[in-house]
Amino acid sequence: MGGGFMLLALNAHQARLDGQASMGMMIAGLAMMGFAELFIDPVAMAQITRLNLPGVTGVLTGIYMLATGAVANWLAGVVAQQTTESQN
Protein backbone atom coordinates (compact mmCIF):
# COMPACT_ATOMS: atom_id res chain seq x y z
CA MET A 1 0.00 0.00 0.00
CA GLY A 2 2.79 2.37 0.90
CA GLY A 3 4.62 1.63 -2.34
CA GLY A 4 1.61 2.76 -4.33
CA PHE A 5 1.42 6.02 -2.42
CA MET A 6 5.14 6.55 -2.93
CA LEU A 7 4.78 6.10 -6.69
CA LEU A 8 1.93 8.61 -6.79
CA ALA A 9 3.89 11.10 -4.68
CA LEU A 10 6.96 10.69 -6.88
CA ASN A 11 4.82 11.18 -9.97
CA ALA A 12 3.27 14.33 -8.50
CA HIS A 13 6.73 15.70 -7.70
CA GLN A 14 7.90 14.95 -11.23
CA ALA A 15 4.81 16.68 -12.63
CA ARG A 16 5.59 19.75 -10.56
CA LEU A 17 9.12 19.87 -11.99
CA ASP A 18 8.38 19.01 -15.63
CA GLY A 19 4.75 19.99 -15.95
CA GLN A 20 3.89 16.44 -17.07
CA ALA A 21 2.86 13.38 -15.11
CA SER A 22 3.62 9.83 -16.20
CA MET A 23 0.48 7.83 -16.94
CA GLY A 24 2.43 4.61 -16.40
CA MET A 25 3.48 5.60 -12.89
CA MET A 26 -0.09 6.59 -12.05
CA ILE A 27 -1.45 3.26 -13.23
CA ALA A 28 1.32 1.36 -11.44
CA GLY A 29 0.70 3.23 -8.17
CA LEU A 30 -3.05 2.67 -8.28
CA ALA A 31 -2.55 -0.98 -9.24
CA MET A 32 -0.20 -1.49 -6.29
CA MET A 33 -2.79 -0.01 -3.93
CA GLY A 34 -5.51 -2.16 -5.47
CA PHE A 35 -3.50 -5.35 -5.06
CA ALA A 36 -2.64 -4.40 -1.47
CA GLU A 37 -6.34 -3.91 -0.75
CA LEU A 38 -7.05 -7.35 -2.20
CA PHE A 39 -4.65 -8.85 0.32
CA ILE A 40 -5.68 -6.75 3.35
CA ASP A 41 -9.49 -6.85 3.18
CA PRO A 42 -10.02 -10.64 3.19
CA VAL A 43 -7.78 -11.05 6.23
CA ALA A 44 -9.63 -8.32 8.12
CA MET A 45 -13.04 -9.74 7.19
CA ALA A 46 -11.96 -13.24 8.23
CA GLN A 47 -10.84 -11.94 11.62
CA ILE A 48 -14.11 -10.05 12.11
CA THR A 49 -16.20 -13.13 11.37
CA ARG A 50 -14.00 -15.42 13.46
CA LEU A 51 -13.61 -13.27 16.60
CA ASN A 52 -17.13 -11.87 17.01
CA LEU A 53 -20.03 -12.92 19.21
CA PRO A 54 -22.72 -15.08 17.60
CA GLY A 55 -25.44 -13.04 15.91
CA VAL A 56 -23.52 -9.80 15.38
CA THR A 57 -21.48 -10.72 12.33
CA GLY A 58 -23.46 -8.40 10.05
CA VAL A 59 -23.25 -5.47 12.47
CA LEU A 60 -19.50 -5.79 12.92
CA THR A 61 -18.96 -6.22 9.20
CA GLY A 62 -21.00 -3.06 8.59
CA ILE A 63 -18.99 -1.14 11.19
CA TYR A 64 -15.77 -2.26 9.52
CA MET A 65 -17.03 -1.17 6.09
CA LEU A 66 -18.17 2.17 7.51
CA ALA A 67 -14.84 2.74 9.22
CA THR A 68 -12.75 1.89 6.17
CA GLY A 69 -15.03 3.51 3.60
CA ALA A 70 -16.88 6.54 4.88
CA VAL A 71 -14.31 7.70 7.40
CA ALA A 72 -11.46 7.23 4.93
CA ASN A 73 -13.30 9.22 2.26
CA TRP A 74 -14.10 12.00 4.73
CA LEU A 75 -10.46 12.13 5.83
CA ALA A 76 -9.33 12.25 2.19
CA GLY A 77 -11.59 15.27 1.66
CA VAL A 78 -10.13 17.04 4.68
CA VAL A 79 -6.57 16.37 3.51
CA ALA A 80 -7.44 17.52 -0.02
CA GLN A 81 -8.83 20.81 1.30
CA GLN A 82 -5.72 21.39 3.38
CA THR A 83 -3.30 20.67 0.55
CA THR A 84 -4.90 22.58 -2.34
CA GLU A 85 -3.78 26.07 -3.19
CA SER A 86 -6.22 28.96 -3.11
CA GLN A 87 -7.47 30.17 -6.51
CA ASN A 88 -7.75 33.80 -5.33
Longest dimension (CA), the chain: 57
Domain spans of the chain? 1-51, 53-88
- Determine contact, residues 24/8, Cβ cutoff 8 Å: no
Contact residues for 71 (Cβ-Cβ < 8 A; gap 6+): none
How much is the pTM?
Answer: 0.60
What is the per-residue pLDDT across 44-82, written as a single tens digit (0 to 9) for each? 889 988 988 888 989 998 998 888 888 888 988 998 888
